[in-house]
Amino acid sequence: MKKTASRRRTPLFEVRHSPIHGFGVFAARRIRKGTTVIEYLGDRVSHAKADERYEDKDPNDNHTFLFTVDSKIVIDAGVNGNEARYINHGCDPNCQSTTLKKRIFIEAIRTIQPGEELAYDYQIQRDSDDPPNVDEIFACRCGAKECRGSMLEAAKKPRKASRRASAGGKKKGKKSKLSKRAARRGTKSKRLPKRAG
């Protein structure tokens, strides 16, 4: 009987120290565009439970492993999480998060070369009760040419008054009155936990 050597493929990635922040995830071999790299795993809890777990957290600490699935579920990768929790934020990312049947996956949006750090845009939600220095707390260190300077979703620009509105006319159209909970539905970003105080 002829003995065949079993070929073991090099893993897709490895976790090691990152120049961006703490640990990071780096491609161990070439990862083609469209490849699902990893599922974001952890304890699946309610938003209320996630808030309760981190209510005593220092308000100046930007470290979070919470990921919003929908209006009811948050994944807390700080409990039973996997390597996906170490993928850092990047303003010019090579990955993105996707939701499929209430599960979160990280996939490559371009071909990633060996040694390159994996990153996706966290787009952490802004809340009306955020402290004035929230952009400093969640400052981005990705080093991208077009870095927006924050891991938070881009700040909404104030709407310009239309000619009709500035001339005393009434604007047409309804303003959305979605609750904060409903507005969060379908978010593909890490959630900014409520802060104590």
User: Which residue matches tokens 């938070």?
Assistant: 152
**66 belongs to a structural domain:** yes
- Kindly state the helix (H) or strand (E) to which residue 32 belongs, with its residue range: none
Domain total in the chain = 1
C-alpha to C-alpha distances, 39 to 12, 124, 150, 193, nearest whole angstrom = 13, 19, 25, 21
Domain, as residue range, for 102:
13-154
CA distance 107 to 98: 7
CATH code at position 108: 2.170.270.10
Residues 6+ apart with CB under 8 A from 19: 117, 143
Looking at 2-102, which runs of residues are DSSP E strands?
Answer: 13-17, 23-27, 36-39, 43-45, 66-68, 74-76, 88-89, 95-100
**169 belongs to a structural domain:** no
Compute, in degrees rounded to 10, the torsion defined by CA atoms 75, 42, 93, 25. Answer: 160
In DSSP terms, which residues pair with 14 in a beta bridge? 26
Query: Average pLDDT of 110-123?
Result: 96
C-alpha to C-alpha distances, 48 to 23, 39, 54, 55, 70, nearest whole angstrom = 28, 23, 10, 10, 13
**175 belongs to a structural domain:** no
Asked whether the predicted pLDDT for residue 131 surpasses 90, the reply is: no
Which range among 80-89, 129-138, 174-183 has the greatest average pLDDT?
A: 80-89
Question: How sure is the predictor about 25, in pLDDT bands with cuts at 50, 70 and 90?
Answer: very high
Query: Average pLDDT of 139-167?
Result: 76
**72 belongs to a structural domain:** yes
